[in-house]
Amino acid sequence: MTAASPQAALAQRFRAFLPDSSILVTETERRPYECDGLSVYRRLPLLVVLPEDINQVQRVLRICAELAVPVVARGAGTGLSGGALPLTDGVLLSLAKFNRILDIDPLNRTARVQPGVRNLAISEAVAEHGLYYAPDPSSQIACSIGGNVAENAGGVHCLKYGLTVHNIVQLGIVTMDGEQFTVGGTGLDAPGYDLLALMTGSEGLLGVIVEVVVKLLPVPDTAQVLLAAFDDVVPAGDAVGRIIGAGIIPAGLEMMDNPAIRAAEAFAHAGYPEDAAAILLCELDGSRAEVETDVMRVRKLLAQCGAREVRIARDADERALFWKGRKAAFPAMGRISPDYYCMDGTIPRHRLPEVLSGIETLSRDYGLPVANVFHAGDGNLHPLILFDANRPGELQRTEEMGGKILELCVAVGGSITGEHGVGMEKINQMCSQFSAAELTQMHAVKAAFDPAGLLNPGKAVPTLHRCAEFGAMHVHDGQLPFPELERF
């Protein structure tokens, strides 16, 4: 008798508690899960499962732990770092059916939601209470809250209101061996280690998120957006530091250079000045008196920094239109380039002009155009490298240039990521940012939660062996801790 294939054997085990429609085995069924938003990396998973409740998630993980089958958890698949890239010998655990808002507590300003709930759906559901959920990634219409937690997502309003980690209070987690536990809580503080912060941004390496309690904020009395146009990106960058240095913390402070302006305007018709070298979008919110005062102060600062034009949104519709252009900047690149590679690095604000200059130099050296659109207020850059993957070697040059941009961010005291995570995309640059001792401690944390290394292996934290091959780190005496993780 011929032994069943690994795929067939797994599927048979899962059919004991999952319907056939929740187990995807054919190539056609699995193909949509071969990549996340970073489509340059593609792999077909061995199997895809779509559980509907926590008990089913626990049973899937227990079976995979028993058989030593790796598991990659996936939300909406909008990630931009290859964090949800599946394994050809592993299970892709989709949480798409975990899409219910379980409870809204307007008095305590919290909502308990499943991980597959869309980011924007939370604000829509609580709007009747005068509340909203602050983190707003550009993909908020599609991205799911579980993925936001896994990557510690931000958004255009994270300057004032913080990243995901600052806007959640509790998580429900299932470990690789199928145990369920809770981190955080609805009180002001809790004893013990801050595991809530540890799990946020852990990229699916430590556990599977099955429930999230988010903070809700009251909708501000008023909000106003200023659009400032500049003839040079350097004074635009200087203006960012001047605004923050004046003690003004905008709700959002975004910058776009000319290629990004032109692409976004052609796509969204937001009224952007297409001949400007750069624009700043500055949103101020709060009480009416506070906003009116800050608008005047910011307008004066922008003029002092050389803005040739400063516009204030006339009404809520124009304010929404200004933001529509910014949030449409990424998809708008599809109109001007066959492909684009979105980078994600963070730098100290005062180094912005020199980093933009460095990116321009790399663009010339590699012969690849770059459009810059980013969260200027907190120094989170998103250079978009435009390329054509159909040209031999161009993807490889693009990846190499992207790595150089991230290394530039580290060189000026920044980080290789601000909100997209490390995933597969930036794993080599982790070797540049962290020492062998630091990476060893990260592997120790991984081993404490997932001793067999089966949860999303090969992502986010590189092995020391990989770093030695990358040439960014010397491994003393050939000692590689946690050898069970090295096979990935």
CATH 3.30.43.10 fits 6-94, yes or no: yes
What does the alpha-carbon distance between residue 285 and residue 287 come to, in Å, rounded to a whole number? 7
Fold entry, domain 222-331: Alpha-Beta Plaits (3.30.70)
Neighbours of 388 (CB within 10 A): 12
pLDDT in tens, the chain (488 residues): 457 899 999 999 999 999 999 999 999 999 999 999 988 889 999 999 999 999 999 999 999 999 999 999 999 999 999 999 999 999 999 999 999 999 999 999 999 999 999 999 999 999 999 999 999 998 999 999 999 999 999 999 999 999 999 999 999 999 999 999 999 998 888 788 999 999 999 999 999 999 999 999 999 999 999 999 999 998 998 899 999 999 999 999 999 999 999 999 999 999 999 999 999 999 999 999 999 999 999 999 999 999 999 999 999 999 999 999 998 998 899 888 999 999 999 999 889 888 988 999 999 999 999 999 989 999 999 999 999 999 999 999 999 999 999 999 999 999 999 999 999 999 999 999 999 999 999 999 999 999 999 999 999 999 998 998 887 543 333 333 334 334 33
Q: What share of the chain is helix, strand, coil (3-state, %, to 5)?
A: 40, 20, 40
DSSP strand E in 101-176: where?
101-105, 110-113, 131-132, 168-174
CATH C-level class of 337-411: alpha beta
Question: Phi-psi bin for 483: left (phi > 0), alpha (psi -120 to 50), beta?
Answer: alpha
The residues facing 225 across adjacent strands are 283
What does the alpha-carbon distance between residue 442 and residue 452 come to, in Å, rounded to a whole number? 15
Q: Which two tokens stand for residue 183?
A: 């981190």
Is the CB of residue 418 less than 8 Å from the CB of residue 405?
no
What does the alpha-carbon distance between residue 185 and residue 308 come to, in Å, rounded to a whole number? 49
Domain map (residue ranges) of the chain: 6-94, 101-218, 222-331, 337-411, 434-485
DSSP strand E in 99-200: where?
101-105, 110-113, 131-132, 168-174, 180-184
Architecture of domain 101-218: 2-Layer Sandwich (3.30)
Helices (H), 274-315: 288-304
Place of tokens 């941004």: 201
Judge whether 222-331 and 337-411 match in fold: yes
Neighbours of 102 (CB within 10 A): 12
Place of tokens 């460095």: 358
Q: Which two tokens stand for residue 231?
A: 């003839």
What does the alpha-carbon distance between residue 470 and residue 467 come to, in Å, rounded to a whole number? 5
What does the alpha-carbon distance between residue 64 and residue 47 come to, in Å, rounded to a whole number? 11
Is the CB of residue 463 less than 8 Å from the CB of residue 442?
no
